[in-house]
Amino acid sequence: MPRLSEAMTAYRPVLAANPYQPLPAHIVRIHRMVPDNHLFTLRFADDRQATEFRHRPGQFIMLSVPGAGEAPISISSSPTRPQVLELCVRRTGRVTDALYRLRSTDVVGIRGPYGNGFPVEELAGNDLLLVAGGLGMAPLRSLLWYALDSRDHYGSITLMYGGRTPADMLFRDELVSLADRPDLTCLLSVDRDPDGGWPQQICRLPELFERVRLQPATTYAAICGPPIVYRLVLKRLLALGFSKDRILMSLERRMKCGIGMCGHCSVGYRYTCLHGPIFTYWDAINLPELV
């Protein structure tokens, strides 16, 4: 088994002594990025907890909204920018509906961080390729800023992010402004540009591969997006010669407890809340139910 998979399961910090006990956090800011896709900035009510909280890019928290329940949500902010947590939440059901009814200063609950996250130490010294479609940018944004804030630790960094139209692009202004950075290849695509004026590519996300030269032997690829993105991007990566343990995928399964107790997210002998949500493609093909 590749060494990478071992490293990915070894880091599992838990914040609270009782892992089922959420800690109170205030909503500091609600940024309405896209209808039904808001960025919530949270800060623990207790200053010590705000300072001590540590996570890895790719980890998630269990977010609880009083009276509604809990849902796993990826941490979109980088651990290099501590004190607050940013969560990009799509309104889909009971918990997220209730969250959207809250306002700044209201209180929510946080448990975590959970999951393995991206093995950032193992990735150091390599080139990085981040490929996200739609809401897949939520966990990859944490990795992107982590790598940019630790720029000397990585070789070239390439981001490919696709949305349907400019109006659907999450973190649009932030990512468009990154396009000028000389130390990042930032390729953003939309399928259609109904209003005109989109400054970047108008094409399907996988077509962005035709605009870069990648070095598969020294590059780690991190992918997150809807199933079609995995299917088409994996095809490209394998055709380019990426080895299966150099492809990292964030795979979200329905989960309840987040700590490997309830069994809701088990796949074969693995729990996606403990051993995931980041898996290598090697893991994915050896756990057939995973994808």
Q: Which of 23, 27, 88, 278 binds ligand FAD (CB under 6 A)?
A: 88
Q: Contact between 101 and ligand FAD (CB under 6 A)?
A: no
Q: What share of the chain is helix, strand, coil (3-state, %, to 5)?
A: 30, 30, 40
Interface stretch with ligand FAD, choices 12-20, 21-29, 84-92, 124-132 (CB under 6 A): 84-92
112 binds ligand FAD (CB under 6 A): no
Regarding 64 and contact with ligand FAD (CB under 6 A), the answer is: no
Cβ proximity of 147 and 128 under 8 Å: yes
Number of residues that bind ligand FAD (CB under 6 A): 20
| Residue 206: cis peptide before it, omega within 30 degrees of 0 | no
Q: Which of residues 262-291 bind ligand FAD (CB under 6 A)?
A: 277
Out of 8, 23, 39, 89, the residue judged to bind ligand FAD by CB under 6 A:
89
- Asked whether 82 and 49 are in contact (CB, 8 A), the reply is no
85 binds ligand FAD (CB under 6 A): no
Q: Is 216 in the site for ligand FAD (CB under 6 A)?
A: no
**Is 157:140 a contact under the CB 8 Å cutoff?**
no
Selected binder of ligand FAD within 255, 259, 274, 278 (CB under 6 A): 255
Q: Which is nearer to ligand FAD, 85 or 135 (CB)?
A: 135
Instruction: Determine, following the binding rule CB under 6 A, whether residue 144 of this chain makes contact with ligand FAD.
Output: no
Residue 76 or 219 having the CB closest to ligand FAD: 76
Return the residue of 40, 44, 53, 60 that touches ligand FAD, per CB under 6 A.
60
Specify the residue, 13 or 93, whose C-beta has the smaller distance to ligand FAD.
93
Task: Out of 96, 185, 219, 280, point to the residue binding ligand FAD (CB under 6 A).
Answer: 96
By CB under 6 A, name the binding residues for ligand FAD. Answer: 60, 71-74, 88-90, 92-96, 135, 138, 252-255, 277
